[in-house]
Structure 1
Amino acid sequence: MSTLTQDADLSQTPLYRSIFDHFQRLHGPALDRISDAAEPTACPSRPLLAFTGSHGANNARSPQWACDGRRLALLSDGADAGVYQVYLSDTTDAAAPSNLALVTSLPGTAEALAWSPDGSSLVVRMAELDADQAGALGSDVAGGRAGRSSSWSPSVHARGVIRGCRSAWVVDLATQQARRVSRTDTNVWELAWLGNEQLLAMVSATPDEDAWYDAWLAALDLRSGTWRELYTGSAQLGRPVAAPSGQAAAAIEAVASDRGGIAGQVLLFDFANGAAVVPRALDLNGVDVTYLCWTQEARLSFIGLRNGHTVAGHYCLQSGMVEEHWNSPLTCGPLLPEAAVTRDGAFAVVTEGWEQPPTLCEVHHGRTRTITDFAHDGTDWLRARVGSIERAVWSGSDGLEIDGLLCKPRDQPGQHALVLNVHGGPIWAFRNLWQMRSPIVALLVARGYAVLNANPRGSIGRGPDFINRVLGDIGGGDAQDLLAGVDSMITRRVADSSRVGIMGVSYGGYMAAWLPTLSRRFVAAVPIAAVTNWTSNHATSNIGRFDELFFRASPYDPLDPYAARSPVMHASSQHAPTLHIAGALDRCVHPSQAVEHHRALLDAGAESVLVVYPQEGHGVRQFPTYLDFCSRVVGWFERNMPPTVHA
């Protein structure tokens, strides 16, 4: 059994070297080839697909075909690391992009682009370099290192001081001229064309990450420069798209925890009569939609989650009928399901599963055709070690059905040391992803642990009623769902009751700090980027609006539930030994949250270790930091709850 040292440098320890070897065997064979893919996009005129591939430095993304299929626009930071600009490629004579050229230089970093329906213009969403990055992407700044101030420059905050704006720019490709079309008092979160002379946008009055939760849908007339508010929802809005003619539009509405993490119902806006529009919610067979695509005037395509499956289909505006093309326990998309739609209505998806590395496929009328897979010797090596996956189902304390994905070692009967893994959000979900898109999970299973990736109430894929059960009850019913999941694993003799640990990131990190205050069954805890004091977090987070919406209370009310559900207020000498992990650059959950809980546990007489990574934000994402992170997490569990029990 390895032990965790508390040294700053673990690189010479046997545990670190074994974990280094694990990742070298996994990733080494892929260093000279494309090993992953995302953002598929289909050529509208030819049987061609473009996608963003992982190969060395990731300095290009967001490929978009023009309507004639002869040009491909994309974003690249090849000229200045972290600062993306728009490039254009001619694909007339070759399937591969050629003659890649900068379109024009725009201020800030480009985050998204879209072609006008007639192919004459591009609209680009630009972010100032110091704009907040979404928590799901690391909670740094949009420009990365390029967006950070000089080492001596102060950070100034005051009412009326506005920084980090996002704006809309239209580029006329005939003249190569660009003009800003959004107002300085309007922040643009998402963009789409509404015909050739209007834009559809998610906007707010200020650019702070808090403002996203109350953003509204608006239309911008490019001729007059006037904005028209279309819809202010009762929840969050995202993924606006429009029919090619601009006569109809759609967007997703749902309660969402994080920008970029929206999954819910689709609202349809009909502009044919030109009057004020009241949106209509579409019945898409109970799918929590995560991605929309409008490729034909009367056909709206979608992909999303339903009861643990990924579902893709088309909605016919004329008949109101839904045609499902894919319903699979596999999934796609690194954050949430995404797809492209081909000329004949097939879906191009990068499918993956716990034991299936990413594979570019075409799915059509229930049939799947592999285009190319990204497996290699490293993925084959890991597949032989990651064990099995199964859907686990149990009942919450109120009888509500709860599920999760149980990953456990293959061919190892008997009761396992169990790690309860809790997802962030809370409105998110674990899906059947390659390595669960969390290499630490695969690493733990390869070393003999069972990992229960639980989806308690509040998780997506079960409809709005399931999500709404967490509102006003942070750390309540969802916490009991998680404890019931552990009990279920013990009852089924999957887990050894004396060797149960917990880990999680973001809201999952909160649960990793909170659940050991409710139950003594945990013998090790690893909260990562965790809220531990809801009141102080409200004051230090860039998304303080989040806790107000989810608690449905004020942090300044002396009788509020903030303190009652804060782990720091319940520190005890009986608390599970806890390894706190935080990123110094985290804007969503300030690293002081980990410091507070670490101090509270030490004051109470419990065991606690605090690790703060200086160049990480919300979660640990970069190598070689990730090697150190894995060494500490594995060491913590192996010390407190070894994967095997010696006689």
Structure 2
Amino acid sequence: MPPLLLEPRRARHQSTLLDHADLCQTPLYHSVVQHFQHLLGPAFGSVSDAAEPAACPNRSLLAFTGTIRLSLNTSQTQHVHIADTATGTLAAVCHGANNARSPQWAPDGRRLAFLSDCAKSGVYQVYVVDITDPSSPGKPEAIASLHGTAEAVTWSPDGSLLLVRVAELDADQAGALGSGTTGTTESKSSSWMPAWAVDPSTHSVKCVGEPDMNIWEVTWMGDEQLIAVVSPTPDEDAWYNAHLTALDLNSGKRRTLYAGSKQLGKPVASPSGRAAAVIEAVASDRGGIAGQVLLLDPTLRKLDMNGADITDLYWARESHLSFIGLRNGRTVAGHYCLESGTVEEHWNSSLTCGPMLPEAAVTHKGSFVVVSEGWEQPPALCEVHNGNERIIASFAHLGTDWLQSRIGTAERTTWRSTDGLEVDGILCKPVGREEPHPLVLNVHGGPVWAFRNLWQMRSPIVALLVARGYAVLSANPRGSVGRGPAYIDSVIGDMGGGDSQDLIAGIDSMVACRIADPTRLGVMGVSYGGYMAAWLPTLDRRFAAAVPIAAVTNWTSYHATSNIGLFDELFFRASPYDTRGPYGKRSPVMHPSRNHAPTLHIAGALDRCVPPSQAIEHHRALLDAGAESALIVYPQEGHGVRQFPAYLDFSCRVAGWFEHHMAA
């Protein structure tokens, strides 16, 4: 379905190919399609990416979620695979149509549980498959028919039960996962997220917890206790004030373990259940937490992981708590020894892993398994131990080789902000082009997030722009993870303030070094990055073009219409109804100007996190001011454009907007 082109009128603008609702017959569209055909075509039908690695507890086997794409006209699908770490051979777990993900090994190492929507698209249920012969997995068996869609599954330490976290079909998705809803919208009774204990031998099920408890994350703490991040209500807002709770599996009784002022995530417990840990941090998106580790053993204390912001935890051995995280632009992984209080780092790399934030698996030998990648390295399944990296399976192919020859280099760069604070980012420069370049400032969402050294920056539009002659600076202003809690906390109460100056200083640095052409500066971003793409041109008139995607443009109306209205109150530390406060002062819609950069607004009609009305408001404000503005709404997209073939249209419009206003 083509996007909705909403343009009541234009100012100071001649008609271009971007005025057309359907670009399929334009030379630019054919050029963009050719780019993606060269990149993705050689891998059609085979595994081209991986995530969610899971290590077998007693054999040299890995399970992971593999990505397969069949054509440019269909979105990718997910399938569970088994990898032999000794030989690198892969075997697919056949499950039928649609998707399968989130593999989890049973303690006996012979069974594998996973989630699949093979029975009904978008509605995930739990399946278990025998892996006695890893080269020929058995036939998966459906374990239970749970009301709603399963979001996570894990085995009890003794292997007798499966713990399944389920969401109602109309429950909100986190913004970082695309917003919208978890499955279909048939059920409208509630949006609770309960958990169920399922016996895989009898298929009997038992609801866990109490009626007034929403479970965001949960795992085992021994065989009869659970540890969970919970809230008293199921709305997406409630996650920001969720607390850590212990649940008794038999009685259903609960006791609060910890309730702080920040957000909590990734709860884990030692195999015996005697100790537990959780990550505490300021987090702007559910599912994207990076911060400090709290250990309950049995008293509460904070652990120092050598200054890293931790993104995931694992407890494979009683005496060691394993972790992975970010520190000063590098990915670090290691073990915390509970007895000595020391950290053993096994990986400290400029490469990284995990599509959202770093994730890993820990083998029974204590090594880490990651899907390692970088701007110049396509994803590869790797085992890391004591600093040594060994590739088990690479997902490189002729298409990735083709792109590597066209996307130039990427390097971490630093600069000083107006107050002297050091800021960093990743600068991608085109190959074979003379400096200075037209430069696009790329701003991440959050604001608590970070750009890392990822293949295509995990945003194919970045690689497309670099291949077409643009330099792209993906910046990490204050509020970004990987620089410690103080760096993150500095954005609280000051969104659109100091972080804006960090970004403008980055532009100044690129211009001063003659990397960027001062007459050809652009800005783009998604979510909070989209807000910055709309906000920065009100502060600096040098921008020749702007592309805000899923952008907040009016903080007051956003508060009233978003499914996470509590987020802006927490991060502004102000009332949305204070007419003299930051809600009006920091809203782009309140500062329209005829001299605002030509702006292409992009929104998803299904976005509950940042409703498309935000783009409509700013689009109208710019038009009323006599500025140039265009608005595109994709009917089947949520928070950002993610699905093919809509992504082809999106890429064409973004590239065309920059090429029209600041040609390479």
State if a TM-score over 0.5 links the two structures: yes
Show the counterpart of 2:651.
Answer: 630
What corresponds to 1:152 in structure 2? none
**Counterpart in the other structure of 2:109:** 69
Q: What do the CA deviations read for 1:468-501 (whole angstroms, capped 9, x no partner)?
A: 1100001000000000000000000000000000
Query: Which residue in 2 is equivalent to 1:103?
Result: 143
Query: Structure 1: which amino acid aligns with 2:486?
Result: D
Could you tell me how far apart the structure 1 residues matched to 2:634 and 2:66 are? 28
Counterparts of 1:96 and 1:294, CA distance in 2:
29
Which residue number in structure 2 is paired with residue 93 of structure 1?
133
Shift of 1:175: 1.9
Counterpart secondary structure, 1:501:
strand
Shift of 1:148: 5.4
Matched, 1:334 2:355: yes
How many Å separate the matches in 2 of 1:16 and 1:425? Answer: 31
Greater Cα offset, 389-398 or 166-175? 166-175
Deviation at 1:7, TM superposition (A): 1.0
Q: Secondary structure at the residue paired with 2:120? A: coil
Aligned pair in 2 of structure 1 residues 425, 163: CA closer, same or farther (>3 Å)? Answer: same
Matched-pair contact (CA < 8 Å) for 2:615–2:631: yes
Alignment equivalent of 1:318, drawn from 339, 343, 351: 339
One of 565, 570, 586 as aligned partner of 2:591:
570
2:166 to 117, 126, 130: 126
- Which residue of structure 2 lines up, in the alignment, with residue 275 of structure 1? none
**Equivalent of 2:36 in 9, 23, 28:** 23
Superposed CA offset, 1:122-169 (max 9, x none)? 0000000000001001001011xx2357xxxxx8xxxxxx72110010
CA distance in 1 between counterparts of 2:322 and 2:38 reads 39
* Mapping 1:190-209, distance limit 5 Å: 190-209=217-236
**Contact in 1 for aligned 2:413/2:425 (Cα 8 Å):** yes
Could you say if the C-alpha distance between residues 503 and 390 of structure 1 is closer, same or farther in structure 2, counting changes exceeding 3 Å?
Answer: same
Residue 45 (str. 1) matches residue 58 (str. 2): yes
CA distance in 2, matches of 1:5, 1:581: 13
Question: Which residue in 2 is equivalent to 1:158?
Answer: none
Q: Contact 2:18–2:657 at 8 Å: present in 1 too?
A: no
Conservation of the 8 A alpha-carbon contact between 1:503 and 1:512: yes
Deviation at 1:94, TM superposition (A): 3.1
Confirm or deny that 1:514 pairs with 2:554. no
> Structure 2 CA distance, aligned partners of 1:334 and 1:399?
32
Match of 1:302 in 2: 323
**Equivalent residue number for residue 60 of structure 1:** 100
Instruction: Name which of 230, 239, 247 aligns with 1:220.
Output: 247
- Aligned partners of 1:290 and 1:337 also within 8 Å: yes
- Counting only pairs closer than 5 Å after superposition, residues 157-306 of structure 1 correspond to structure 2 as 163-271=190-298, 278-306=299-327
Give 5+ residue unaligned stretches, structure 2. 1-14, 70-76, 79-98
Deviations 1:585-630 (A, max 9, x none): 0001110000000000000000000100100000000001001101
Q: Given that residues 122 and 170 in structure 1 are in contact (C-alpha distance below 8 angstroms), is that contact kept between their aligned partners in structure 2?
A: yes
Shift of 1:532: 0.3
Post-superposition offset of 1:382? 0.6
C-alpha separation in 2, matches of 1:96 and 1:123: 26
Residue aligned with 2:569, SS? helix
- 1:523-602 equivalences under 5 Å are 523-602=544-623
Deviations along 1:238-284, whole A, 9 cap, x unmatched? 0000001100000000000000010000000013xxxxxx4110010
Q: How far did 1:96 drift?
A: 4.6
> Which residue matches 2:154?
114
What is the CA–CA distance in structure 2 between the aligned matches of 1:96 and 1:361, rounded to whole Å? 22
1:364 counterpart residue number: 385
Aligned residues between the structures: 623
| 1:575-594 deviation line (CA, Å, top 9, x unaligned) | 00000000000001110000
Q: Aligned equivalents of 2:331 and 2:27: distance in 1? A: 41
| Aligned partners of 1:26 and 1:381 also within 8 Å | yes
Equivalent-residue separation in structure 1 for 2:521 and 2:293 (angstroms) = 40
Alpha-carbon separation, structure 1, partners of 2:292 and 2:403: 37
Whether contact under 8 Å (2:103, 2:113) holds in the other structure is yes
Q: Is the 8 A contact 1:3 1:638 kept in 2?
A: no
- Aligned partner letter, 1:171: V
CA contact (8 A) 1:351 1:361 kept: yes
**Conserved 8 A contact 1:268-1:280:** yes
Q: Is the 8 A contact 1:4 1:636 kept in 2?
A: no
Q: Which moved more, 1:171-180 or 1:440-449?
A: 171-180
Residue 185 of structure 2 aligns with which residue? 147
In the alignment, the residues of structure 2 paired with residue 98 and residue 40 of structure 1 have an alpha-carbon distance, to the nearest angstrom, of 20
The one-letter code sitting in structure 2 at the alignment partner of 1:195 is: G
The percent of aligned pairs where both chains have the same amino acid is 70
The Cα shift of 1:4 comes to: 3.8
| Structure 1 unmatched ranges of 5 or more | 150-154, 156-161, 272-277
Q: Is the 8 A contact 1:3 1:636 kept in 2?
A: no
Q: 1:491 aligns with which of 509, 512, 522?
A: 512
Cα deviation per residue 1:34-73 (whole Å; 9 max; x = unaligned)? Answer: 0000000000010000000002432000000011101000
Partner SS, residue 509 of structure 1: helix
Cα distance change, pair 96–295 in 1 and its aligned pair in 2 (3 A): farther
Contact 1:10 1:16 in 2 (8 A): yes
Note the C-alpha offset of 1:95. Answer: 4.4
Q: CA deviation at 1:174?
A: 3.0
Q: Is the 8 A contact 1:436 1:442 kept in 2?
A: yes
CA distance in 2, matches of 1:74, 1:126: 13
Structure 2 residue matching 1:563: 3-state secondary structure: helix
Alpha carbons 1:141, 1:148 under 8 Å: kept: no
Change in Cα spacing, 1:96 to 1:136, as seen in structure 2 (3 Å) is farther
Counterpart of 1:293, as a letter, is: Y
| CA distance 1:573–1:404, shift in 2 (3 Å) | same
Please tell me whether residue 448 in structure 1 is matched to residue 488 in structure 2: no
- Checking the alignment, whether the CA contact within 8 Å between 2:17 and 2:26 is kept in structure 1 is no
Helix, strand or coil: the match of 2:531? helix
Q: In the TM superposition, what whole-angstrom CA distance separates every residue of 1:12-35 from its partner, at most 9, and x where no partner exists?
A: 000000001111111111112100
Alpha-carbon distance between aligned partners in 1 of 2:438 and 2:31, rounded to the nearest angstrom: 20
Instruction: Indicate if the aligned counterparts of 1:62 and 1:112 stay in contact, CA closer than 8 A.
Output: yes
Paired residues of 2:209 and 2:253 also in contact (CA < 8 A)? no
Residues 185-216 of structure 1 deviation map (CA, whole Å, 9 limit, x = unaligned): 11000010010001111000111100000000
Question: 1:344 aligned to 2:371?
Answer: no
The answer (yes or no) to whether the contact 1:330–1:432 under 8 Å persists in 2 is yes
Aligned to 1:618: 639
Once residues 134 and 47 of structure 2 are traced to their aligned partners in structure 1, the CA distance between those partners, rounded to angstroms, is 20
Moved over 6 A (4+): none
CA distance in structure 2 between the partners assigned to 1:163 and 1:528 by the alignment: 30
Distance 2:566 2:165 in 1: 24
Residues 447-483 of structure 1, C-alpha deviations (whole Å, 9 max, x = no match): 0000000000000000000001100001000000000
